Structure 1
């Protein structure tokens, strides 16, 4: 989450960031879920959709555009301002075509809403129109405009083609995806122009995203006021324009060349992604059977998984899953896992009073509609044993009022001799952690990774800076992520506001492609935020005994709004030895509050309330 001023980008307006109030808006009543439908190209009725609960809406091309429009608009009306609410939705589109150039299907995606195609490929579902996220125009105390995307979290778009059509005036024929953290776009084929900022509202139009993977764009992309962004294993057919600080591309065809190290030069480009594992997804096969596809791990990859042929991986029948619904007992869920079932969470909030334990190799745990697990009684909501091939995706995990030692552990508990390997690692995709925000939360650590070869892909790990239950002694949380396994790879690691180290990396052979951080806002004084003779805590620390580690495109920002005089000695701390290499790091002081004395290990410029930066280090150790 970012609440800060940033340099004006083209079309972003030049106004300064103003303090604002966040408000939740009452929602309209929601239309009931779609009924049975007919599959394209099949004369008889398709098999009925499985019972995925009332908040999964399944659409079919036999439905009229007006029918679909009414339903998706009703969800948007409820969710577009529902930042800390408990409602969750999945909007799923069976294979076929929706809308037309003359009558496009265009709708907004609000909080806690997943929009996904049900094809095996994004080419199987086509929307003529657009699927949009716009700025929220939030109230201010002085009547000025405050239209921003800084808080546009917790939503997703995946597995479809969007033939951009419709729109009026400034929004004509453009796909708008003005988002910040925890709002991934995956496996999407956009035919037409795309913007990652909303330049059509009043100012200041800031955005603080974001993540795109396995997607293709035929037209240009306006990155605009985006503070940071990771684009991984995608294809860019047009120009990528603008960007504020930390723009990273990995394995992306058509990406701009690396250009990093001074104001306006903030691109980091890797020709190939070192290790990646795409997110599992729900689909309907040509016979109408519902399945989940789990993509295989890839090394040294470039481009999308689907443009040049069938994607490698394995399919599971939906009948192999325990389909969980809010209110299910955790003992029941664990019993299903013990019997060899995979696990699908339907949309909703689940109270977790004891650990959900994943102990069998190749188990899939998949959430729909940003399904949320909330710790109760100090539980660790999710524990994954040190077994090969497990994949956990599409979940939010919340701390509860009683402190949890962790919110998710990877590699704890039972070992059955089938430990993760390079060829069959544990995957964690689009899993988001919160300590505070919707309610009081406390957790010593959010994510603990002990298994070797784990692949972490698009994680937002957040100690809340706004919402309910927020304050230095209220939503207490030491560390966001601790990695102790060897050969762990993170692609898209967003970790913010923790009271000690945000990331502590203890394993060898680690790799991080893109890191975004804000230090804690709310420390009352330097004594509360220091250790020994060191002011503050580094955002990203590699333990002194680690022998090999490499990272690309890392940004850390300070905004100490309770005490603007606070200092952090370093943003990054790593051992000084051969085998440790850090590429393209930067720091910024936001809103004239807080100082970072150096970028890494005493190297790099100081950012202060008066000299806000960025300060850059292009490589450490220095070449």
Structure 2
């Protein structure tokens, strides 16, 4: 049975009510979902007819971008990409947005469908209301956010009556690179995981909670400006990076800020806000824009160190513009073979909305390759291949991708650098941004690891690695959607900011590299261990730490970490501790907490043997500094 709802928060914003729960809306409804739904306006990418066995793919020599056969600067993006122009008229645009949203909004029918869509607005002003559903990307095509202005709202809310005002399943949707003049003065972005809000200029307030004041569980803002108040209210955890806020209000368990003008002071745990004045190293996302001649480009922002505020605050974002002639456009009909051929020829990739089955590993071997996805393009590895492997080279940029495990176990979905990688990439690191991983839910997926980072200096800037706790019928269960680890870091000097990893069956994050940093970590333990004997670590303690720093690590630092348990299959299950680190002065953890959601199961300690048992109904146990 789904666990019952507890009262929502009152409008005075002060009640830190119990918890989010995702599975309730799907129980009894999952059997109605039809696997393999066709795309909203076109077919998904087809699989190659000749699958390759794991490990059989030859790595092609790296090519220079200049070798890429010239592509079109005004490409056909396919039927799942809608490009709007002010000359179309607001009425016609609104009609198309409404029709699309009605297909993409429902938690039961759309959440695990194969619909994918992107709405792109050319520079100008639009009087529309844009409700954003599942697997939908909304983006402006200007070079700066205020080149595209929406006089209206770009909204995510608890849209369905069946959600009972709950926004905890509002996954897989995004807004980017535009300005919003909200109709009521307040834009609403009530989301859960995998729903970034980037390069947005909100001329007013921003509400991160449902209009019902129900539960929400996000979330991520970066490179944005909110002229008024940003309010979290019932958001249980949130990370904001390199932005400018008029003010901030609210917080439940874990609110984290780095490089944010207008952020609240560092007051964890009362209120539960963790604030860093700057972000140690960052490089904002590559994005598509169109020039006055109608030609498309991809802009690649420059690397920043110890930065604060939006990259465009002083004018335009610093960086380099690449013509679309250097990008191969991946769309319906492309296979692993055609994609690998484009990479081998030196092309970057622009991946359009769709579901792409991979019969062989995608190999990224050229330095400074950009792979930019819009509309949640989804790579599914077939027959146990690894989905993507990146060589130990400078400057690869991965943005806007969803890796969805296939039904035959893959060793890893994405690997950055081979084992033993040793090159220094400090001046031109690989960035992994808005890249998401899913094990089960739409299908009974299996993968030992979701993301393995072997390359030094890699920046992980907002990921969600999720072993599904709910989904289509027959896709979720302890022996059904199996996965050991969400993230394994072996490289040195790796930074993770905006790290969401949930429900894996062993250590959800394993950090073996030296000099690592994490800013914001959100985790739920697996819900479904059938008994304690099935969930015991090799060291003989109950369960597995959600975040484990390797025993040989001598330098590591992390800020703003939360781990929650909800052992609904067997509430007698216990996790000995949520965070496991070596006891050495160079390994430091700040502002960590554990919560037992609804008191279903226990976590005995927060970090190592420190912190009291977390067993009561959603009351956090906090550790401000360790050691």
TM-score with structure 2 setting the length: 0.89
Report SS of the residue matched to 2:582: coil
Partner Cα separation in structure 1 for residue 330 and residue 3 of structure 2: 36
2:182 matched residue in structure 1 = 164
| Paired residues for 1:333-482 under 5 Å | 333-412=339-418, 419=423, 421-468=425-472, 469-482=475-488
1:562 matched residue in structure 2 = 569
Partner Cα separation in structure 2 for residue 218 and residue 448 of structure 1: 38
Moved more, 449-458 or 404-413: 404-413
Partner Cα separation in structure 1 for residue 550 and residue 226 of structure 2: 40
1:53 matched residue in structure 2 = 78
Partner Cα separation in structure 2 for residue 245 and residue 413 of structure 1: 37
Runs of 4 or more consecutive aligned structure 1 residues displaced over 3 Å after TM superposition? 2-10, 12-19, 23-32, 136-139
Q: Does residue 106 of structure 1 match 2:114?
A: no
Would the alpha carbon gap of residues 387 and 31 (structure 1) be closer, same or farther in structure 2, given more than 3 Å must change?
closer
1:552 matched residue in structure 2 = 559
1:42 matched residue in structure 2 = none
Report SS of the residue matched to 1:323: strand
1:256 to 264, 277, 290: 264
Q: Does residue 178 of structure 1 match 2:217?
A: no
Partner Cα separation in structure 1 for residue 40 and residue 558 of structure 2: 45
| Paired residues for 1:158-307 under 5 Å | 158-165=176-183, 172-199=184-211, 201=212, 205-237=214-246, 239-262=247-270, 265-307=271-313
Cα deviation 1:301-354 (Å, max 9, x = unaligned): 000000102212111111111111133121121111111100111100000111
Would the alpha carbon gap of residues 557 and 126 (structure 1) be closer, same or farther in structure 2, given more than 3 Å must change?
same
1:615 matched residue in structure 2 = 621
What's the offset of the Cα at 1:558?
0.4
Question: Contact 1:389–1:420 at 8 Å: present in 2 too?
Answer: no
Question: Contact 1:9–1:244 at 8 Å: present in 2 too?
Answer: no
Higher RCO structure (Cα 8 Å, ≥6 apart): 2
Partner Cα separation in structure 2 for residue 569 and residue 491 of structure 1: 26
Supply the RMSD in Å over aligned alpha carbons.
Answer: 2.3
Cα deviation 1:192-241 (Å, max 9, x = unaligned): 12101112x4xx6100000000000011122110010000000001x311
2:87 to 62, 74, 77: 62
Q: Point out where structure 2 has 5 or more consecutive residues left out of the alignment.
A: 43-71
1:43 matched residue in structure 2 = none
What's the offset of the Cα at 1:286?
2.8
Moved more, 75-84 or 20-29: 20-29
What's the offset of the Cα at 1:21?
3.0
1:584 matched residue in structure 2 = 591
Would the alpha carbon gap of residues 258 and 414 (structure 1) be closer, same or farther in structure 2, given more than 3 Å must change?
closer
1:605 matched residue in structure 2 = 612
Report SS of the residue matched to 1:72: helix
What's the offset of the Cα at 1:58?
0.3
Question: Contact 1:28–1:77 at 8 Å: present in 2 too?
Answer: no
| Paired residues for 1:76-91 under 5 Å | 76-81=101-106, 82-91=110-119
Q: How many residues align?
A: 581
What's the offset of the Cα at 1:420?
5.1
1:310 to 310, 316, 323: 316
Partner Cα separation in structure 1 for residue 304 and residue 189 of structure 2: 27
Partner Cα separation in structure 2 for residue 611 and residue 50 of structure 1: 54
Question: Contact 1:229–1:248 at 8 Å: present in 2 too?
Answer: yes
Q: Point out where structure 1 has 5 or more consecutive residues left out of the alignment.
A: 33-46, 100-104, 140-144, 166-171
Report SS of the residue matched to 1:562: coil
What's the offset of the Cα at 1:412?
2.1
